[in-house]
Chain A
């Protein structure tokens, strides 16, 4: 059974940094692309970032303007999201998701989701 468990969220001040983690189990983590998707309070879903199975390929939402970095440690089946220069508009629940496809560039179906971790950016 696939499990994705996010951690690292919290309340931070604007301009500061935060690192989210996602611990994965129940599947061959090293074979799949992974994503972060966020959901601001009482709003819809927004894709944040994608990383290929080996970490060699990454994509980001343009709205992040280079402030976030996605990475992974396959030896520990863990996904990360480094978030810098945080803004109030980054306040959201951040979900770690497993892509359905084991093939590069056939990404984009979010097969399994963690329960999310809440990031609140407020002074």
Chain B
């Protein structure tokens, strides 16, 4: 089973700042990393698939990069609605499909 670790666990930033979230896999997942956003009381929302492809309707301030075992989600300028928990997930080696533990982006 591929284990995903995310860092930091919590990221405290102000609106307008840049957020950089990391996801590391226990073995290569090629480019098969997906990012989701979850706000309190809501279901997760697909943000980025296959490392760098934005899902429909996702603003351009969200971008993904990486390869192999190390991946990054970047939010260039935080908007108030971006404060949430972000999960990475892999579909390279399954079952199971696995998720990271999440990074919480909260308001400083």
Considering only CB atoms and an 8 Å cut-off, how many residues of chain A contact the other chain? 22
Chain A residue at minimum C-beta to C-beta distance from B94: A108
A107, B91: Cβ atoms closer than 8 Å: yes
Q: How large is the interface on B (under 10, 10 to 19, 20 to 34, 35 or more residues)?
A: 20 to 34
B43, A116: Cβ atoms closer than 8 Å: yes
B101, A44: Cβ atoms closer than 8 Å: yes
Task: Choose among A59, A108, A111, A114 the residue that contacts B32 (Cβ–Cβ < 8 A).
Answer: A108
Q: Known contacts A44-B99, A44-B102, A50-B95: does B87 contact A110 (CB below 8 Å)?
A: no
* Distance in Å: Cβ of B21 to nearest Cβ of chain A: 14
* Interface of B: prevailing SS: loop
Q: Please name all residues of chain A whose beta carbon is closer than 8 Å to the beta carbon of B32 when the two chains form the complex.
A: 108
Query: What mask results when residues 71 to 113 of chain A are scored 1 for a CB within 8 Å of chain B, else 0?
Result: 0000000000000000000000001000010000001111111
Q: Interface of B with A (CB < 8 Å)?
A: 32, 34, 36, 42-46, 49-50, 55, 87, 89-91, 94-102
14 contacts between A and B (CB under 8 A): A45-B87, A45-B89, A50-B97, A60-B95, A61-B96, A62-B95, A95-B44, A100-B49, A108-B90, A108-B94, A109-B49, A111-B46, A113-B43, A116-B43
